[in-house]
Structure 1
């Protein structure tokens, strides 16, 4: 206040007064603060992220959101002045589906920055990924060319829709059964599937599952030759 009074008393030129009064150009804080849900969320459900940065001048600033190197749209951004200072702060929010291995990045650019600054939120940390399929067969050994039932299980996925495909020696099998069960505790699902095949030497059975939370299908292989009479029962996980 004393300084402003001196300026008025001395009747300095208006342009000089404005020059001394205005804020100096300054970059935003680095990195921006990025926050999301603090509790676990269901896969593919909408989640909102907030990005804030402060201490910059002039107020013009560019905020973009990215996921898997692709720019996201639909964000809402607000710029306001900081109380008690001549700098500004920005807050931006965006809502995206929760997916595995799909981090969200808030990127900020400003005239006083040499290059954009950013922060990233790893969505995988707050969602439950479906378990890889596990396969099992008879506890004991069987005679060659007899029918055996192979079981496949995957749990912890959401939403309910899931694809289970069976193959024997690379050929798709028909006649499999699939039962999808809701877990009342966490509202996720588990899939139980089985198929009956003929146990032959040097034959393998593959259970392959696909779900929207996976980037690509996951599978497990059961070695039928290992349960033929005289062999040790085992299975191979991929």
Structure 2
């Protein structure tokens, strides 16, 4: 019986990762996330394949992979085109909507942990998720790794203001000498951290470097800004006068991102008649880097855009995207909606904003007047307004061109086609 987790949480990107990884409890769901292997053993340098299958009838929402190792929880892969250089999907999920298996190349001991395949179900205003039971991965190291400075991550992607962890393992068989962290390479490289001396307010060491036999020289950099983007190297020096560089790690490239704002959708300023074409515009701003996608949907089916522009914002390194689309109104659109979908590598799931087409439609009423004689030489006159939209209406009576009565508190009745009569 697979272990499932189902909780709801507000759609707050900064909290999403933490909440998703509380894999506790069980839940009865109409669909399941299956991970066929409970454990896998692989040698360093080989390719690791992790299987995941999501029931075909599962609701809309993305699938993500996470690795958990002790207190460390990390996003391993999503299927929205973000950069995960060592990870690829096994099947094209556009054609196979159930197989979300992945491959991890060039496995190292740092890849040890339990991997969870997680299905998100997006709703408004909450999000729920179902997790697979997890696959534990053990990695057997190779002999030559004992003599190398190891940096397990080739790349790291972090949002502005967050904290990035840079791992480094230095063999205790190396000669005596300090370990330093640099940003960049060559003569112009920038010193990021010295474990022995110096003041580095935003950097903290993770390992216990004063402990005998310590090999962990990992660091954390807090309050990340766009200026922190670059490649970081963990470098071992050999003790001397002066100390000489002994060996450098392969480097970890840090990509810094800024989340786009929630999309804003603007429809026509006035209602339009059935059969007319109306335009909608969508805008999202303040994101970095520039690469972003914006798609339009009507009732969940993708529609084309008229034009889409991405421009750099004034006096800023961030960008803005704007797009327009058009829709021909029909009688069926009383229950239709248009969606603007924005996706960026800084996001775990796309941002969406809906516009209700019923707020755009105008249907004029058909007017009918009926009269019949009543006692005392009087005439009873009935006015009927049929098949109109929207609901709000007032009727004005004129007698020889002069207003005789205004009915403002009418309660129209709706027919099965969505139109009103009063």
Unaligned segments of structure 2, at least 5 residues: 1-159, 162-182, 185-191, 193-201, 221-230, 239-250, 363-388, 392-422
**For residue 96 of structure 1, what is the aligned residue in structure 2?**
254
SS of alignment partner, residue 62 of structure 1: coil
Question: 2:211, 2:305 → 1: CA distance?
Answer: 67
Question: 2:319, 2:212 → 1: CA distance?
Answer: 51
Unaligned segments of structure 1, at least 5 residues: 1-39, 67-72, 81-92, 100-127, 233-238
Report matched runs for 1:98-177 at 5 Å: 98-99=256-257, 128-177=258-307
SS of alignment partner, residue 56 of structure 1: coil
Residue pair 1:144, 1:201 contacting (<8 A) in 2 also: no
Residue pair 1:59, 1:79 contacting (<8 A) in 2 also: no
The yes-or-no answer on 1:56 pairing with 2:215 is: no
Residue pair 1:152, 1:193 contacting (<8 A) in 2 also: yes
Question: 1:55, 1:221 → 2: CA distance?
Answer: 53
Residues 78 and 197 of structure 1, relative CA distance in 2, 3 Å threshold? same
Question: 2:294, 2:209 → 1: CA distance?
Answer: 53
Question: 1:182, 1:173 → 2: CA distance?
Answer: 26
**For residue 103 of structure 2, what is the aligned residue in structure 1?**
none
Displacement after TM superposition at 1:186 (Å): 1.3
Residue pair 1:50, 1:94 contacting (<8 A) in 2 also: no
Residues 196 and 142 of structure 1, relative CA distance in 2, 3 Å threshold? same
The yes-or-no answer on 1:227 pairing with 2:381 is: no
Residues 231 and 190 of structure 1, relative CA distance in 2, 3 Å threshold? farther
Displacement after TM superposition at 1:204 (Å): 0.9
Question: 1:221, 1:162 → 2: CA distance?
Answer: 19
Residues 192 and 58 of structure 1, relative CA distance in 2, 3 Å threshold? same
The one-character-per-residue Cα deviations of 1:155-197 (angstroms, maximum 9, x if unpaired) are: 0112222111111122211243101121131121101100010
Residue pair 1:63, 1:77 contacting (<8 A) in 2 also: no
Question: 2:237, 2:344 → 1: CA distance?
Answer: 40
Question: 2:300, 2:259 → 1: CA distance?
Answer: 27
Which of 302, 320, 326 is the equivalent residue of 1:190?
Answer: 320
Residue pair 1:154, 1:190 contacting (<8 A) in 2 also: yes
Residue pair 1:151, 1:192 contacting (<8 A) in 2 also: yes
* TM-score relative to the length of structure 2: 0.30
Question: 2:305, 2:213 → 1: CA distance?
Answer: 65
Question: RCO higher in 1 or 2 (8 Å CA, sep ≥ 6)?
Answer: 1
Residues 64 and 187 of structure 1, relative CA distance in 2, 3 Å threshold? closer
SS of alignment partner, residue 334 of structure 2: coil
Question: 2:204, 2:237 → 1: CA distance?
Answer: 12
Report matched runs for 1:200-211 at 5 Å: 200-211=333-344
Residue pair 2:264, 2:353 contacting (<8 A) in 1 also: yes
Displacement after TM superposition at 1:226 (Å): 1.5
Displacement after TM superposition at 1:74 (Å): 6.7
Question: 1:175, 1:56 → 2: CA distance?
Answer: 60
Displacement after TM superposition at 1:96 (Å): 2.1
Question: 2:390, 2:318 → 1: CA distance?
Answer: 38
SS of alignment partner, residue 201 of structure 1: helix
SS of alignment partner, residue 207 of structure 1: strand
Question: 2:328, 2:266 → 1: CA distance?
Answer: 15
Question: Going by fraction, where is helix more abundant, 1 or 2?
Answer: 1
Residue pair 2:295, 2:305 contacting (<8 A) in 1 also: no
* TM-score relative to the length of structure 1: 0.50
